[in-house]
Structure formats: structure tokens, C-alpha cells
Amino acid sequence: MKKRVAAVITQYWLNSHADVIISRLLGELGYEPQVELVAMYVEQVTDRDLSHELSAKHGVPICATIEEAVAWGAPERKIDGIVVIGEHGDYPWNEKQQHLYPRLRFMQETLAAMECHGIRVPIFLDKHFSYDNGDARWIYERVKSRGIPFMAGSSIPYTDYVPDFDRSFLQGGRTFFVVSHGGHESYGFHGLEVLQVLAEQRRGAETGVASVHALAGDEMWQAMDRAEWPEALMMNALALEPELSGRHPRYECPNPALFVVAYKDGTMGYVAQLDKFATRWSFAVQEHGDAYIAAYCNTGQERPYSHFTRLTELIEEMILYGTPPCPIERNLLTTYLINTAMESLYQGRPLSLDELGVAYDPRESYS
């Protein structure tokens, strides 16, 4: 008998995160699920909604509240896992250009329902914990204190690298440069997750980040002219896109940004947001001296977006066996990174992360 899952969703439409994850759990998109979706909560229904059509097709009820979805079948047969997708929808933006998705509220109501009905099951939370670092810490502390298997974050770090390379090279990495695209917050988070999954492989456990500095527009290129960040590594990463050969984003990217991450051990990380120029997540990593490797993340460029197949498999594995694919601390740290980067863009200065210390061993999936 398959384990049973409830989904908590903001909006559900073609190619939304709900579609490319939850539709797979329903057996759509050529996917054969190992679990059974038994209930959904969908907060906003638009004229392009898919949830009602798929609800009728698969016999999965749409519940009126988060508690109803989480408690579906209780007490006789409680659910075995929860998928929370607080991405997309008609929610406000703040002055820092952060989209105020209700992930904290979704998690508060989910955890309250679990407590009320005596449920302790794995939870997947799509992308970063929250746009607010305090809210993110609240989520982290609650799931840790309850011993709840918890997975969050991006689909991109779980893709294959092209070309493949000897992972031991990352142990000596001192400078990590990721090329990203899309919105500064929405896709910048993916870029920071790619950065962190590479940087955490350097020798020793992750000891944390000292500061984040975000540069935008001409300020980014002026800093490049002063050799304050490694232009050569950016070009090495971009060279993996044949159509960009010989082209420089300085002259073609309308709204660039650079996230500069200074780690406490002296390692440097960079994420260049090159929307309307780059089209994939690529990276270059340099040791001491001139040795470097470069590769890109092999994401599916068109529907059904194959990188979400791997993500869905990992979600199912956590629900089936209770073991997340990475420490929760990685996702907490990348949440801090994107939130601090957006704050730095807003304030126009580097910001310290000393008071938000996050250290972890990447070899431990859960502690």
C-alpha cells in the first residue's frame, strides 16, 4: 500500500511549481509515483487553474483549509508526508523586490494541524524558507525541535553536471563563480543553491558565511574594472553556452547583479545574475593558482522539465524512508544568503552574517 501525501499550494497552473511537482505525484507528465496524493489545499484559483480538473480526474479532494488537507484520513489512516509549495500567486512585493509568499503561514498552519492531530511526517517546502530571516529561523527551529524530516530548496543542485568532472577538485576550491539568470530573488536563489552545493564540498565542514554584498548595474562592471571580482571565471562559465562565445554581458545584459559571498574561512563565492543574456546555470571553480573546472547544470529546457523529475524522486525518497538528501542547514543558509543579498541590493552596501551563523557537515543528511 502506497504512503499517502497531502499538498499545500498557492496556485496550480500549467508549468507552475505545483504542476511540475504535484502533477508528477498524480501520475502525470510520464511519471510513475511511489506515493499517493490524497488531498490538496489550493489557496488561489485563477482562470488557468489545473487543480480542479486534475482533482476530478484522479479523485483527489481539494480541501477548504490547510488543516483539513493535513488531517485527511485521520485518525484511522493518517497521511505519511506533506508537500508545501508556496511559489507563484497574487501576493504583494516589498520595497526590496522580494515576493511575499506565505511560506511561514503555510508552515505555521501545517505544523499546528500536525500537532493537533498527532501527526509527525516528513515535509518538503519548495525553495527558500521565507523572505524574512527571522521567519526562516522559526521554521528551522520548529522542525528541528520536533525531529521532523525536512527538505527544502531548489531543483537545480540535483541535476547532472556537463561536462562531468572529478568532484575531488572541489575540495581545494577557493573561488566559486556561478552564472545565473532570471529574477534577482526568484532565480538568484537557484544560483545561490548551486554555489552552496559546490562550496560546501571544500575541505572541512561548512563553517559559515561572513558577509554578502550585492552589486547592480554599472556598479558591478566598475568593480570588475578594479579587479574586485574574477571576470575570467565568469567568462569561463559563460563559454559553456556556444551562442555566447565572444560576447560579454557588460554590453548586452540590461539589468545585471552580482552576489558576492565571503565565507568565514576566506573562500569567495559569486553569483552573477545575467537575465536576458545567460540561459542556464553554469559555474567555474578555481583552486590556488590557475587550475579551474567549468560545467553547467543539465536542466530540462522544455516541458516536462526533467530536473523536476529528480526533485520529485528525492521528495518521495524522503517520505518513504525519512531521510532528506541534504542537511536542513544548507537550505537555511541559502535562505539567509538570498534574503541578505536582496537587503544588500536595497541598502547598497555589504552586510554581515556573523550573527546568523550556520555551520554544518554536508555529509550528514539530517541531524
Complete domains list, the chain, with CATH: 3-153 (3.40.50.720), 157-297 (3.30.360)
* CA–CA separation, 70 and 54 (whole Å): 19
Tell me the pTM.
0.97
pLDDT tens, the chain, 367 aa long:
999 999 999 999 999 999 999 999 999 999 999 999 999 999 999 999 999 999 999 999 999 999 999 999 999 999 999 999 999 999 999 999 999 999 999 999 999 999 999 999 999 999 999 999 999 999 999 999 999 999 999 999 999 999 999 999 999 999 999 999 999 999 999 999 999 999 999 998 899 999 999 999 999 999 999 999 999 999 999 999 999 988 999 999 999 999 999 999 999 999 999 999 999 999 999 998 889 999 999 999 899 999 999 999 999 999 999 999 999 999 999 999 999 999 999 999 999 998 888 999 998 754 3
- Say which amino acid occupies 240: L
C-alpha cell at 135: 521567519
β-pair type (292-297, 161-162): antiparallel
The pLDDT value given to residue 357: 82
Residue 366's pLDDT is 44
Cα radius of gyration (the chain)? 20
pLDDT at residue 365, as a whole number: 56
The type of residue at 26 is: L
Q: In this structure, what are the phi and psi dihedrals at residue 54, rounded to the nearest 5 degrees?
A: -75, -30
Question: Count of H helices and E strands in the chain?
Answer: 10, 14
Three-state DSSP class for 28?
coil
Instruction: Look at residues 205, 207, 194, 198 and name the one whose alpha carbon lies nearest to residue 169.
Output: 198
What is the grid cell recorded at 258? 552580482
